[in-house]
A and B are shown apart, each in its own frame.
Chain A
Amino acid sequence: MFARVKTYKALARGVVLESIRRKDLWVVAILGFLILIGSGALGFFGVDGMQVFVKDLAVTVLGAFSTIVAVMTSTRLLPEEIKQRTLYPLLARPISRLDLLIGKLAGAIAVTWLAFFLLASLTSVALLSFHVRFEAIMVQYMVAKMMGLALMCAFGVMLSVYMTPSAAATTAFVFTFGSSILIRAMTSAYEVASPGMQFVFKFINAILPQFTLFDMGGRAANVGWDPVPMWVMAFLLVYLVIYGSGLVTIAWTRFNRRAL
């Protein structure tokens, strides 16, 4: 078990190092920070009244940018390994393909979390400059967001095993940004849908990755929302573990049989 953890750690560290040196993270962080600082120009009316807007902008920027990092990192990891043939010396070592998959996923999650931390730290500076008060829900927002990002990475890695990197990235973006729209549309249309369509809605809802459950941005950006109950956080964690494991398994069944 310890040896496996060591393997995952080594693989993840390689991914993180590459990502840092490729400067992807810095571009994201600087761009996000500039957007937030740029929002200061909207302080035409004074800082009063800006808090909700700035918080809303912050969670939007955090959500969007960290999602982009999660999708772009996770969907290109394995295809790049195969394309650049860096996979061969890796798999020549006494590690299984499942180990490689998990290690790479751990790397993608680490990179995404790092980007999220970087952006969140810069965001905090921007929020402080607008005298925004931090509420308990902000901490929960960050924890849930990190879980959601991990799920996105698992989703991205799974897609990348079955598709070309660009197709995987496009599909992942459709689902990460669009699943909430899809779910909202289904809940609105459910009552007036035919019984057959209602069954389809239930089926889609059951299999669709519920990324929207990990986004508390709506509460974090607005004022006076209580922290969510602990059972909800526990549910999110259990969902992440079960759904994430399912995604890794789906990826592994294909990757394990694949001729390299």
Chain B
Amino acid sequence: MKIWYAPFAAVSLMAAIGWSTDEVTPKVNPPIRRERSDAGDSSLGSQIQTSASGWLWAYTEVYLANGIKMRRMTQKEAAENGFNDGRDHGTTVIPPPAKDFRGIFGDVDRSVNAWNAVQRFKQNDPRQCLPLFRLMTWLDPNFVEAWTNGAMVIAMDRTEKANQMAMEFLREGYKRNPDCVDIPTTFGMLEITRHRDFDKSIGFFQKAVENGQRRFDALSENEKQAFLSAYRWLTLAYRNTGRLKQMNQAIREGLTYFPDDQVMPGTGRPSIVPPASYQPPIGVTTRAL
């Protein structure tokens, strides 16, 4: 038998399965990624790095689900479960007994592999994903979401040591992505939520806004969200430090980029502008996170 017969047969088989349905969507690449225009991105090495870090991003979900692998529901499954909202919904890769054609093989599969009925799911501690974030940022230092999400997960401990580590992680990421919006925004968020230091946070949000303005046309959807978020936080920080003039200026500026936003004008409404002596309840921002 020729050497290529086996892989050819396997690929054909997989293709045949693929052709039999157009409803199974693989969930490999991360839903959010930073758009980049570097020429280096098109090299094979970069593609591998990006794919590997993307796979790791998706894999964090497996850690969070205690090893249970998930996939998107098919349209039929979503309809059967009453999810007709047009959004993506997940289900276990290993189907429940009622949906499994494999009989005892399916029963054994559910017994030996990480599987649970969706109703009995439990979310694991996100800190277990930290090594994955570290790997992601090693593989792809421009994967900004990995830096910011990793930092937020590190800071979950709410200890000063954890905060410092998160900051250090972010600094490392910022060094590699000095023109990004997300990282300075996250810096600012951490200053507010962990240290209640609105003054210090303003500098970070200003930097984020500056980066966003400079590259607005090149921003990805995710970065645009971060840009919007930076404006909202900046507005809040100005308000809470009593710098109303700068706040109004920021709102005006922000609305030129995001004219439909309701949060910025809401933050600046005179009725809720606190007096200069006002100490904001930290829980508000914490919940916002």
B18 to chain A, nearest CB (A): 7
Within 8 Å of chain B (Cβ to Cβ): is A228? yes
A144 contacts B112, CB within 8 Å?
A: yes
Q: Which of B128-136, B192-200, B212-220, B239-247 contacts A (4 or more CB under 8 A)?
A: B128-136
Across-interface contacts of B24 in A (CB, < 8 A): 185, 188-189, 192
- Verify B108–A236 contact, CB threshold 8 A: yes
What is the CB-to-nearest-CB distance from B270 to chain A, in angstroms, rounded to a whole number?
Answer: 44
Would B113 and A216 count as touching, CB distance under 8 A? yes
- Among A11-19, A22-30, A38-46, A107-115, the one that faces the other chain is A38-46
Segment of B68-76, B181-189, B250-258, B278-286 engaged in the interface with chain A: B68-76
Considering only residues 185-221 of chain A, those with a C-beta below 8 Å from chain B are 185-194, 197-198, 200-202, 204-205, 210, 212-216, 218-219, 221
A186 to B104, CA, bound (A): 16
Q: Is the pair B67, A49 in contact by a Cβ cutoff of 8 Å? A: no
The answer to the question of B21 belonging to the interface, with a C-beta cut-off of 8 Å to chain A, is yes
A219 to chain B: which residues have CB within 8 Å? 67, 112-114
When distances are taken between beta carbons in the complex, the residues of chain B under 8 Å from A187 are 93-95, 99-102, 106
Task: From the candidates B14, B100, B114, B128, name the one contacting A181 in the complex (CB within 8 A).
Answer: B14
Query: CA separation between A93 and B165, bound complex, in Å?
Result: 69
- Complex CA gap A51/B130 in Å reads 11
Contact of A42 among B109, B113, B134 (CB under 8 A): B134
Distance to closest chain A CB from B128 (angstroms): 4
Q: Mark B1-25, 1 if CB is under 8 A from A, else 0.
A: 1110111001001101110110110
Partner of A49, one of B16, B114, B125: B125
What does the 1/0 interface line of B48-63 toward A look like (CB < 8 Å)?
0000000000000001
User: Residue B154 contacts which of A45, A213, A216 (CB distance < 8 angstroms)?
Assistant: A45
Let me know if A229 is at the binding interface, CB within 8 A.
Answer: yes
Bound-state CA distance A217–B114 (Å) is 8
B225 at the interface (CB under 8 A from A): no
Q: Is the pair A189, B17 in contact by a Cβ cutoff of 8 Å?
A: yes
A-B contacts counted at CB < 8 A amount to 161
Contact A194:B131 (CB < 8 A) given known A213-B108, A215-B113, A225-B67: no
B60 to chain A, nearest CB (A): 11
How far is A201 from B127 in the complex, measured between Cα atoms in Å?
39
Residues of A within 8 A of B125 (CB): 49
What is the CB-to-nearest-CB distance from A175 to chain B, in angstroms, rounded to a whole number? 8
Contacts of B130 in A (CB 8 A): 44-45, 49-50, 53
Residues from chain A with Cβ under 8 Å of B114 in the complex: 218-219, 222, 225
In the bound complex, how far is the Cα of B130 from the Cα of A52, in angstroms? 10
Q: Give the residues in chain B near A163, CB-CB below 8 Å.
A: 1, 6
From residue B140, how far is it (CB to closest CB) to chain A in Å? 15
Say yes or no for A224: interface residue by CB 8 A criterion: yes
Question: How far is the CB of A139 from the nearest CB of chain B, in Å?
Answer: 14
Task: Indicate whether A228 sits within 8 Å of B111 (C-beta atoms), given known contacts A49-B128, A188-B24.
Answer: yes
Distance in Å: Cβ of A223 to nearest Cβ of chain B: 6
Asked whether, in the complex, the Cβ of A222 is within 8 Å of the Cβ of B3, the reply is no
Binds B, one of A76-84, A97-105, A150-158, A166-174: A166-174
Question: Which residues of chain B are near A42, meaning CB under 8 Å?
Answer: 131, 134-135
Q: 11 A-B residue contacts at CB 8 Å?
A: A43-B131, A45-B130, A50-B130, A163-B6, A187-B93, A191-B76, A191-B99, A223-B66, A223-B124, A228-B112, A232-B112
* Extra inter-chain contacts (5) besides given A182-B13, A187-B93, A192-B21, CB under 8 Å: A49-B129, A53-B132, A192-B23, A215-B112, A219-B112
